[in-house]
């Protein structure tokens, strides 16, 4: 029997505002426990929340970039439940009037199995299907000459709402005591809720990557799954192909990497199929994924589901969003990745492969643009980022947004090479030792450490003369037409010059002197 899989995602994104959603406390990660707290975010009696406008700006910008309608009269609601990490014992969230609704994103999914686009259309034959979801086309992309089939589809976004994060419980196993740290309490979150439009782990990963890239480009969050600034819960159900009814879904939590998400989905599909094949019924429940063990276990069932007693928070006034406000955000929105891709091609003419890699991380794209703006050749800048930067990132285990060096210093380095002040080998050394981690000025570094390879032409001429005298055999070979033999003389020169000269320049000078012999 063939099954089809329906997956919807609830994605929490921690917004990178400077202060919390309902008070003026810092959102900075870390810090000694309970140092970024005040009466509001620690739930003191009598304290009142005041909405941080920047949270609304960021939520609207994400909503616009994901084609949502912005709710002009939005409200906050209280979600009531008792837990010690939640100082008021209610979370301020949005149930009835979330800030964004009815959006979609287009994802591009690798298609190694060569799914027939016609059958993909039938995957979408849901009576409730929005017309936006019919946008399915097959396209082909050329990557380094290798043909890789991909397809595009729309994933609908049901809503995006704003809410506050909870604090953290710290358990002391030694004393068997649990302590509460409210530093994270009140950090702003948006929850992006999709429709159950995804059909495979590949589609889920493509969707999450699309969301991450969009939110990063909007400078709304760093979206790190491993640090919890992006968290995804997976709602998954299966049904027999051809059936129009939804199956019973489960919700999987604790997914801290794309790998965990992929593995969890595959395991959950298998688990649900097995239950149905054995004549059983899938139970509606929340399951916790254990990525080390590679399986999930139930956390709570539908029967245990709490009644959150949602109601509008009387401490916050309705959030009225004017058309001007929305227009202002739309007009000042940063360039998104898809737009950058088109512009890079037109403006800089660098290869698609480069564009894809550089725009893959906003931090790299920012570095690239800064370097080019400072006069660096676009292709050379892109090479430095794709080759040396990525190699060193891997070596130092750094993410793109942790890079400390400036595009300006990269541009200076490229110019030093262009001006033949230093050769490529020295440039790599300068990049690694001075720029990559410490962001030192390469011009100053080269001068201070006497690394210039631009030899005094008098000195180089003398060394070349010496090299010719010292290598009679090579000279003879060259004269006999064995061009490669010049390498020995160049090598001698480089050694004498201790690497501080341009090998091409040495080559040219040797050839000139040999002509005169």
Partner 1 sequence: MQDILSISAVDLGKKIAAGEITSVEATQAYLDRISAVDKDINAYITVMTEPALKAAEEADKMIAAKKAAGEELSPLAGVPIAVKDNMCIEGTLTTCASHILDNFVPTYTATAVQKLIDAGCVIIGRTNMDEFAMGSTTETSYFGATKNPRDLTRVPGGSSGGSAAAVAAMECPAALGSDTGGSIRQPASFCGVTGIKPTYGRVSRYGLIAYGSSLDQIGPLGKNVTDCATILEVISGHDAKDSTSAGADETSKQDERTTDYKFTEALVDDVKGMKIGIPRDYFLEGMNEDVKKAVLDAAEVLKSKGAIVEEFDLGMVEYAIPAYYVIACAEASSNLERFDGVKYGYRTSDYLDLHNMYKKTRSEGFGAEVKRRIMLGSFVLSSGYYDAYYVKALRVKALIKKAFDDAFAKYDVILGPVAPTTALKLGESLSDPIQMYLGDIYTVSVNLAGLPGISVPCGEDSNGLPIGLQLLGQTFDEKKIIRAAYSYEQYRLNNMSLKCDDIFGKEA
Residue 444 contacts residue 480 (beta carbons within 8 Å): no
307 contacts partner 1 (rule: CB under 8 A) = yes
Q: Which of 10, 12, 29, 43 binds partner 1 (CB under 8 A)?
A: 43
CB of 46 to partner 1, least distance (A): 4
Site membership for partner 1, residue 325 (CB under 8 A) = no
Query: Nearest distance from residue 44's CB to partner 1, in Å?
Result: 7
Interface stretch with partner 1, choices 54-62, 196-204, 308-316, 365-373 (CB under 8 A): 308-316
299 vs 316, which CB is nearer to partner 1? Answer: 316
Does the footprint of partner 1 cover residue 315 (CB under 8 A)?
A: yes
Q: What is the dihedral of CA 279, 280, 281, 283, to 10 degrees?
A: -160
Which residue has 């929490």 as its token pair? 12
Residue in this structure with the two tokens 């390498």, named with its chain if needed? 487
* Residue 45 found at the interface with partner 1 (CB under 8 A): yes
Least CB distance to partner 1 at residue 307 (A): 5
CA dist., res. 392 & res. 501, Å (int):
26
Question: Which residues make beta-bridge pairs with 286?
Answer: 251, 300
Pick the stretch among 11-19, 66-74, 81-89, 188-196 that binds partner 1 (CB under 8 A).
Answer: 81-89
Closest distance between partner 1 and the C-beta of residue 100, in Å? 21
Eight-state DSSP code of residue 303: G
CB 336 within 8 A of CB 214: yes
Start-to-end CA span in the chain (Å):
85
Q: At what angle do helices 472-479 and 457-470 cross, to 10 degrees?
A: 90
Pairing of the two strands 3-14 and 230-240 = antiparallel
Taking Cα atoms as reference points, which of 132, 141, 143 lies closest to residue 109?
141
Helix (H) or strand (E) holding 311: strand 311-312
Q: Considering beta carbons, is residue 59 or 364 the nearer one to partner 1?
A: 59
Residue 179 interacts with partner 1 (CB under 8 A)?
A: no
Q: Contact, 207 vs 105, CB < 8 A?
A: yes
**Is residue 311 within the footprint of partner 1 (CB under 8 A)?**
yes
Segment lying near partner 1 (by CB under 8 A), choices 83-91, 148-156, 202-210, 250-258? 83-91
Instruction: For residue 410, give the nearest of 356, 372, 444, 448 by alpha carbon.
Output: 372
Tell me if 50 contacts partner 1 by CB under 8 A: yes
170 binds partner 1 (CB under 8 A): no
> Which member of 16, 17, 42, 471 binds partner 1 (CB under 8 A)?
42
**Cα torsion 269, 271, 277, 282: sign:** negative
Strand partners, 386: none
Q: Are strands 188-194 and 3-14 parallel, antiparallel or unpaired?
A: antiparallel
Least separation in angstroms between CB 134 and partner 1: 36
Answer yes or no whether residue 407 interacts with partner 1 by CB under 8 A: no
> 433: buried, middle or exposed (CB in 10 Å: 19+, 13-18, 0-12)?
middle
Would you give the DSSP letter of residue 198?
B
Q: Using the rule CB under 8 A, is 171 a contact of partner 1? A: no
**According to CB under 8 A, which residues from 266 to 305 bind partner 1?**
none
Q: What's the closest the beta carbon of residue 320 comes to partner 1, in angstroms?
A: 9
Task: Give the binding-site size for partner 1 (rule: CB under 8 A).
Answer: 28
Q: Of residues 88, 102, 284, 406, which one binds partner 1 by CB under 8 A?
A: 88
Whichever of 173 and 458 has its CB closer to partner 1, that residue is 173
Distance from C-alpha of 75 to C-alpha of 183, rounded to nearest angstrom = 25
DSSP letter for each residue of 377-425: -HHHHHHIIIIIIHHHHHHHT--GGG----HHHHHHHHHHHHTTSS-HH
d(CA 41, CA 20): 8
Residue (47 or 256) nearer to partner 1, CB: 47
- Residue 45 CB, nearest approach to partner 1 (Å): 4
Q: Which of 57, 80, 248, 513 binds partner 1 (CB under 8 A)?
A: 80
Residue 84 in contact with partner 1, rule: CB under 8 A: yes
Backbone dihedral region for residue 497 (phi beyond 0: left; psi -120 to 50: alpha; all else: beta): alpha
- Of residues 12-41, which lie at the interface with partner 1 (CB under 8 A)? 39
Residue number, 47 or 102, with CB nearest to partner 1:
47
d(CA 74, CA 54): 15
317 interacts with partner 1 by CB under 8 A: yes
Stretch that binds partner 1, among 106-114, 202-210, 306-314, 432-440 (CB under 8 A): 306-314
Closest contact distance (angstroms) between CB of 180 and partner 1 is 7
Is residue 180 near partner 1 by the rule CB under 8 A? Answer: yes
Cα–Cα distance measured from residue 459 to residue 462, given in angstroms and rounded to the nearest whole number: 5
Q: Applying CB under 8 A, does 321 fall inside the site for partner 1? A: no
Q: Minimum distance from CB of 64 to partner 1 (Å)?
A: 23
Judged by CB under 8 A, does residue 314 bind partner 1?
A: yes
Q: What is the DSSP letter of 334?
A: P
Stretch that binds partner 1, among 78-86, 136-144, 188-196, 356-364 (CB under 8 A): 78-86
Instruction: Residue 123: name the closest of 301, 39, 271, 4 by CA.
Output: 4
* Contact flag: residue 90 with partner 1 (CB under 8 A): yes
| Binding segment (CB under 8 A) for partner 1, from list 86-94, 241-249, 372-380, 448-456 | 86-94
Interface residue list for partner 1 (CB under 8 A): 39, 42-51, 78, 80, 82, 84, 87-90, 180, 307, 309-311, 314-317
């Amino acid at each position: 029997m063939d099954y089809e899989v329906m997956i919807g995602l609830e994605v929490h994104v921690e917004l990178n505002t400077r202060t919390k959603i309902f008070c003026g406390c810092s959102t900075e990660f870390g810090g000694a426990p309970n140092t970024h707290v005040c009466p509001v975010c620690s739930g003191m009696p009598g304290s009142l929340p005041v909405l941080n406008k920047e949270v609304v700006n960021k939520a609207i910008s994400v909503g616009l970039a994901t084609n949502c309608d912005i709710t002009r009269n939005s409200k906050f609601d209280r979600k009531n439940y008792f837990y010690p990490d939640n100082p008021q014992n209610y979370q301020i969230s949005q149930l009835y009037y979330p800030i964004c609704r009815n959006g979609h994103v287009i994802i591009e999914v690798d298609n190694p199995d060569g799914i027939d686009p016609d059958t993909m259309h039938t995957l979408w034959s849901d009576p409730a299907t929005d017309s936006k979801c019919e946008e399915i086309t097959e396209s082909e992309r050329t990557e380094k000459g290798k043909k890789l089939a991909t397809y595009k589809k729309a994933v609908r976004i049901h809503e995006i709402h704003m809410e506050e994060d909870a604090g953290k419980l710290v358990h002391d196993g030694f004393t068997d005591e649990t302590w509460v740290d409210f530093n994270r309490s009140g950090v702003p979150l948006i929850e992006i809720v999709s429709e159950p439009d995804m059909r495979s782990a590949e589609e889920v990963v493509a969707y999450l990557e699309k969301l991450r890239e969009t939110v990063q480009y909007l400078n709304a969050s760093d979206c790190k799954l491993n640090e919890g600034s992006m968290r995804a819960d997976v709602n998954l159900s299966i049904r027999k192909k051809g059936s129009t009814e939804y199956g019973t879904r489960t919700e999987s939590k604790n997914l801290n990497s794309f790998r965990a998400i992929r593995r969890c989905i595959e395991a959950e599909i298998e688990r649900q199929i097995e239950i149905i094949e054995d004549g059983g019924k899938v139970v509606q429940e929340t399951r916790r994924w254990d990525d080390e063990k590679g399986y999930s276990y139930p956390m709570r069932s539908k029967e245990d589901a709490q009644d959150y007693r949602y109601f509008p928070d009387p401490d916050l006034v309705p959030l009225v969003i004017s058309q001007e406000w929305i227009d202002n955000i739309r007009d000042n929105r940063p360039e998104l990745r898809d737009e950058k891709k088109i512009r890079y091609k037109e403006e800089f003419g660098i290869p698609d492969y480069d564009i894809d890699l550089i725009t893959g991380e906003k931090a790299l794209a920012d570095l690239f643009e800064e370097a080019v703006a400072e006069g660096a050749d676009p292709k050379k800048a892109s090479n430095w980022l794709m080759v040396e930067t990525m190699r060193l990132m891997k070596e130092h285990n750094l993410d793109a947004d942790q890079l400390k060096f400036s595009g300006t210093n990269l541009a200076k380095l490229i110019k030093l090479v262009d001006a033949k002040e230093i050769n490529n080998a020295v440039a790599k050394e300068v990049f690694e030792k001075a720029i990559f981690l410490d962001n030192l000025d390469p011009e100053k570094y080269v001068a201070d450490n006497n690394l210039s390879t631009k030899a005094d032409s008098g000195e180089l001429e003398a060394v070349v003369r010496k090299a010719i005298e010292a290598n009679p055999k090579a000279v003879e070979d060259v004269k006999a037409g064995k061009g490669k033999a010049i390498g020995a003389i160049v090598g001698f020169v480089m050694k004498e010059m201790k690497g501080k000269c341009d090998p091409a320049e040495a080559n040219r000078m040797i050839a000139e002197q040999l002509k005169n012999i």
